[in-house]
Amino acid sequence: MKGLTLKPLFSAMALTLMLSACASDSAQTNAASQAPNVVATNIMEQNVNNPFFKPYDTFMEIPDFDKIRDEHYLPAFKAGIAAREAEINAITANPDAATFANTIEAMEYSGTLLTKVASVFYNLTGANTNPALQEISKQVSPMLSSASDDIYLNDKLFKRVKVVHEQADKYNLDTAQTKLLEDTYKRFTRGGANLSAEDKSTLRALNEQIGKLNLEFGDNLLAETNAFELVIDKEADLAGLPQDVIDTAAATATKRGHEGKWVFTTSRPSITPFLTYAENRELRENIYKGYIERANNDNANDNKKNLAKIASLRSEKAKLMGYKTHAHFVLEERTAKTPENVYGLLDKVWPAALAQANAEVADMQELIDSQNGGFKLQAWDWWYYSDQIRVAKYSFNEQQTRPYFSLESTLEGVFYTANRLFGITVKERTDLPKYHPDVRTWEVHDKDGSLLAIFMGDYYVRDSKRGGAWMNAYRSQYKMNGVESKPIIVNVLNYPRPTGDEPSLLTFDEASTLFHEFGHALHGMLSDVKYASQSGTSVPRDYVEFPSQVMENWMTQPEVLAQFAKHYQTGEVIPTELVKKIQAASKFNQGFATVEYMAATKLDLDWHTLTDSKLRDAAKFEAESLMNMGLIEEIAPRYRSTYFSHIFAGGYSAGYYSYLWSDILGADAFEAFKENGIFDPATAQSFRDNILSQGGSADPMQLYRQFRGKDAGIEPLLRSRGLLEDK
């Protein structure tokens, strides 16, 4: 776990929760797709120049970003919803008895147009938003919520699904088909299909309200994040900061209209080095509080009432659906199964992590006292003094690594690792459509030379992009009627832009995040399934981080570092001595990293194990939660409630624990590579065959056992974090 890093909020589009994934226009030949659709046809006829209404005339049918305009989205959404409705009506009107093919698969193959527009729209609202897109989101959200309810509250459709589910044995289904049937049936029951007419009406209203509040939460947070700036006009206040950080702050100041000054923001590439190196303690406190008080300033962007209402409505919805709490409702579909199991896991790790964090506090306080600081360590001091201790203990700080990890060289390392493991190769293309000039695009070829996927990388911080790092798909891999859809995958990160003649230079931690996100990308690109709803990262939330956590491990291997970690000016390979320092320091500060993450996890669970829908005072609730868990005052949760977008604007409600759960799998899985050789072909092929290619086509823990030969143990994770002594 890493400082202020936000790892992917959208490993798979939240849209898949309300829409079955769909196939390409050319392949969709099932009966449902042939249904007459007057409304959709009329909309298309009135918008003949809308690029969503015809195949993209581009390589691999990459979205034609050059032609897509903001005004194209709303008509396309309306037409897509209408088309999907007609397709569903064709299924329910089918006079033939319900079968797996004419009901379950027909649903799976429906919704082509809607998925086509949504995949572009929701990628861009995260990566390159603007006021027009934000306004469209507010209009579209209730439309999509209603469209989803129209499907899962459709009595005629559910009767057909139920018949197929009850007669499953007669169809001789394979594993993927069986899972598709089970998942489809569960989506209906969890979508309210068994509710009374009155309760269905209540559910529709709850879904619409929650969707609206989710959007408002995200918009408020983006506005707050963009609004904060620490403006420095005295050069003396820059003392301690590396020159590249100063240069970036000067460029930010110019961009924001503060020519001749320096500006720092709460984006990770800005705030983390400032907290780590700035000698001015007062300014460190200023920017730290700017970060942790986002959307908590009693202004138009305040999220306290918003999030309390979301938690209340989720609790009400859970009760309506027959569950004790929202967490019980969510976790039923996760590998953890119950909140009690998650709390149990946290209770196993928390004591050791908290003890380590307290030891780290003691070390830093001793350092402060030795320097005659005359003050008690505070949260905004942690990065500054922990870095001094890191330097003292290991003669190492992360700034030493920056020259060896340019973005370009780190990409080479990521591609090198993927090639050694899976035989894939990449070829950059500069002639393909892109949604922003920052975006880079590669063809990805499999080991037999065949075209496997398109990969996009969007790496630099900008105001139109939300913070953090994530992977998403513009198109998922699937096979239908003999036609295979090749995936179009994107990684989005927030690295500092090049300044002057200097490239974008990453810390070791930031470079590790690049490996992490490419792990998600591999999960999408190496997918080999029939159904799009089971493709790539379409797996339980507490499993989706597992392949990406595994990928991080190669970043630390000397054999891999020697291939790409080269000084951006001299080409010198990273010195062995520095690599040893990196390895020695890898377990440093893990008490802090684990505790701040787990505090956010516990806060998430506390919000979502409410057994009633009473509105809470958000500030008071959070304070009580942190007190009850015993969080020390020197550490804040990685995400406080008002900017916890994972759970109040994204898909991780009652699921932020997933990173730790997946980390257990990741640490245990990498043990297999350590045992057999980090590039052992057989182990890599088994990982591809049993994990990466399978997506959500089978039970995830069974897939893990097929790869590892056993269930995962917690010990490798604890050892990797220095919370358990090495064997």
Give yes or no for a contact between 149 and 85, defined as CB atoms under 8 angstroms apart: no
- Which member of 517, 545, 552, 596 is catalytic? 517
Last residue of a domain, one of 245, 263, 292: 292
The answer on 449 and 407 residing in a single domain is: yes
Highest mean pLDDT: which of 42-46, 307-311, 713-717?
Answer: 307-311
pLDDT tens profile 630-689: 999 999 999 999 999 999 998 899 999 998 989 899 999 999 999 999 999 999 999 999
The answer on 345 and 372 residing in a single domain is: yes
At residue 181, the pLDDT reads: 98
Q: pTM for this one?
A: 0.83
| Confidence check: pLDDT of 250 > 70 | yes
Distant-in-sequence, close-in-space partners of 306: CB < 8 Å, separation ≥ 6:
213, 216, 217, 220, 648
- Two tokens, residue 17: 């929760």
At residue 18, the pLDDT reads: 34
Alpha helices in 677-714 (DSSP H): 681-687, 700-708
pLDDT tens profile 361-413: 999 999 999 999 999 999 999 999 999 999 998 888 888 899 999 999 999 99
At residue 19, the pLDDT reads: 37
At residue 559, the pLDDT reads: 92
At residue 5, the pLDDT reads: 34
Number of Cβ atoms within 10 Å of the Cβ of 172: 8
At residue 666, the pLDDT reads: 93
Measured in whole angstroms, the distance separating CA 569 from the mean position of its chain's CA atoms is: 34
Residue 716 lies in a domain: no
The answer on 447 and 383 residing in a single domain is: no
Pairing mode, strands 230-232 and 262-264: antiparallel
At residue 582, the pLDDT reads: 86
Q: Given pLDDT bands bounded at 50, 70 and 90, which one contains residue 178? A: very high
> CA 341, 319, 148 angle in degrees (round to 5)?
100
The answer on 24 and 127 residing in a single domain is: yes
Provide the domain limits for residue 271: 229-292
Give yes or no for a contact between 212 and 249, defined as CB atoms under 8 angstroms apart: no
Residue 223 lies in a domain: no
The answer on 52 and 176 residing in a single domain is: yes
| Confidence check: pLDDT of 10 > 60 | no
Cα–Cα nearest to 506, from 449, 574, 456, 441:
574
Q: How would you write 53-90 as a 3-class SS string? A: HCCCCCHHHCCCCCCCCHHHHHHHHHHHHHHHHHHHHH
Q: What is the CATH number of the domain that holds 357?
A: 1.10.1370.10
User: CA-to-CA distance for 2 and 140, rounded, in angstroms?
Assistant: 35
Mean pLDDT of 25-42: 51
Cα–Cα nearest to 279, from 430, 395, 381:
381
User: CA-to-CA distance for 110 and 523, rounded, in angstroms?
Assistant: 24
The answer on 616 and 512 residing in a single domain is: no
> CA 341, 342, 343 angle in degrees (round to 5)?
95
pLDDT tens profile 465-489: 988 899 999 999 999 877 899 999 9
User: CA-to-CA distance for 670 and 86, rounded, in angstroms?
Assistant: 48
Buried b (16+ CB within 10 A) or exposed e, 303-338: bbebbbbbbbbbbbbbbbbebebbbbbbbebbbbee
User: CA-to-CA distance for 578 and 566, rounded, in angstroms?
Assistant: 12
Residue 663 lies in a domain: no
At residue 45, the pLDDT reads: 81
Higher local confidence (pLDDT), 725 or 190: 190
Mean pLDDT of 585-604: 94
Q: Among 29-38, 106-115, 206-215, which is the least confidently predicted range?
A: 29-38
At residue 25, the pLDDT reads: 28
At residue 24, the pLDDT reads: 29
Give the mean pLDDT of the chain.
Answer: 92
Residue 720 lies in a domain: no
Distant-in-sequence, close-in-space partners of 63: CB < 8 Å, separation ≥ 6:
56, 119, 120, 433, 435, 474, 488
Residue 296: phi and psi, rounded to 5, are: -135, 40
Last residue of a domain, one of 262, 292, 322: 292
394 burial class (0-12, 13-18, 19+ CB within 10 angstroms)?
middle
Residue 488 lies in a domain: yes
Number of domains present in the structure of the chain: 3
Q: Given pLDDT bands bounded at 50, 70 and 90, which one contains residue 725? A: low
274 burial class (0-12, 13-18, 19+ CB within 10 angstroms)?
buried
At residue 22, the pLDDT reads: 28
Residue 711 lies in a domain: no
User: CA-to-CA distance for 350 and 353, rounded, in angstroms?
Assistant: 5
User: CA-to-CA distance for 172 and 178, rounded, in angstroms?
Assistant: 9
Q: Given pLDDT bands bounded at 50, 70 and 90, which one contains residue 701? A: very high
Last residue of a domain, one of 292, 320, 338: 292
Q: Given pLDDT bands bounded at 50, 70 and 90, which one contains residue 116? A: very high
The answer on 359 and 246 residing in a single domain is: no
Q: Find the Cα–Cα–Cα–Cα dihedral 624, 620, 657, 144, rounded to 10°.
A: 160
The answer on 67 and 5 residing in a single domain is: yes
pLDDT tens profile 520-579: 999 999 999 999 999 999 999 889 999 999 999 999 899 999 999 999 999 999 999 998
User: CA-to-CA distance for 661 and 548, rounded, in angstroms?
Assistant: 13
Distant-in-sequence, close-in-space partners of 48: CB < 8 Å, separation ≥ 6:
none
Q: Among 100-109, 230-239, 571-580, which is the least confidently predicted range?
A: 571-580
Alpha helices in 405-503 (DSSP H): 407-422
* Beta bridge pairs of residue 470: 492
| Confidence check: pLDDT of 177 > 60 | yes
At residue 726, the pLDDT reads: 58
Give yes or no for a contact between 110 and 88, defined as CB atoms under 8 angstroms apart: yes
Mean pLDDT of 175-189: 96
Residue 216 lies in a domain: no
The answer on 181 and 40 residing in a single domain is: yes
Measured in whole angstroms, the distance separating CA 399 from the mean position of its chain's CA atoms is: 27
Q: What is the CATH number of the domain that holds 73?
A: 1.10.1370.40
The answer on 16 and 127 residing in a single domain is: yes
User: CA-to-CA distance for 596 and 292, rounded, in angstroms?
Assistant: 13
634 catalytically annotated: no
At residue 9, the pLDDT reads: 31
pLDDT tens profile 405-436: 999 999 999 999 999 999 999 999 999 999 99
143 burial class (0-12, 13-18, 19+ CB within 10 angstroms)?
middle
Q: Among 26-35, 84-93, 384-393, which is the least confidently predicted range?
A: 26-35
The answer on 534 and 502 residing in a single domain is: yes
Residue 368 lies in a domain: yes
The answer on 322 and 438 residing in a single domain is: no
Give yes or no for a contact between 533 and 524, defined as CB atoms under 8 angstroms apart: no
Residue 428 is given by DSSP the state E
